[in-house]
Structure 1
């Protein structure tokens, strides 16, 4: 199995085309093994050249609410009073470490998404 590293956009496109041709390969066959290796190479290339930022904490919460049919009142056990929930969702109050922990443990929202600093907080003065 001769596989070369992806060094350019041209190599990347070529490997994607090859992966497309191998999509129906069965596991534990030479073609299936080749597919696994090529996919791993592409994932590494994409992580390096197309990094994805984590969502803003409030957007992560809103997305989770939307996906799970939750209302703001459903966040009270994790954030606090109804007023506090609305302050967080309207960006008038930051999440505390306790809120982050509860949202992560109780709702399964990735902690990494909840602790990301906002644009305005991350910029130097």
Structure 2
């Protein structure tokens, strides 16, 4: 990590830049093998964004549908559809 800090900002077409790229690739491979982050649950991601933006379930109705449909999605009783995902994004 010290080497990466030292080489940070090196031009890609220099020896330092190539060394930095190799070190970053090695760190990425190590982290993927030993500390992989699983994909997030879609409902958890929605709840996180709601919390971050101060949104309520009612605020999701234009994107998901009725109040009942929003409740079904957030209670994991119904899956998100592709059109819902597109509107939410």
TM-score (norm 1): 0.57
Query: Which residue of the partner structure matches residue 33 of structure 1?
Result: 18
1:1-125 matches, within 5 Å, as 16-89=1-74, 91=75, 93-95=77-79, 99-108=80-89
Name the count of aligned residue pairs: 89
For the 8 Å contact 2:43–2:76, the answer to whether it is kept is no
Q: What is the alpha-carbon distance in structure 2 between the residues aligned to residue 43 and residue 92 of structure 1?
A: 33
Alpha-carbon distance in 1 for matches of 2:41, 2:65: 20
Provide Cα deviations, 1:18-38, integer angstroms capped at 9, x if missing partner: 212211323322111211121
Could you list the runs of 5+ residues in structure 2 that have no partner in the other structure? none
Which residues of structure 1 form unaligned runs of 5+? Answer: 1-15, 109-125
- Aligned alpha-carbon RMSD (Å): 2.2
Secondary structure of the residue aligned to 2:77 is coil
Which of structures 1 and 2 has the larger relative contact order (alpha carbons within 8 angstroms, sep 6+)?
Answer: 1
The 2-side partners of 1:42 and 1:100 are apart by 37
CA distance in structure 2 between the aligned counterparts of 1:73 and 1:107, rounded to whole angstroms: 13
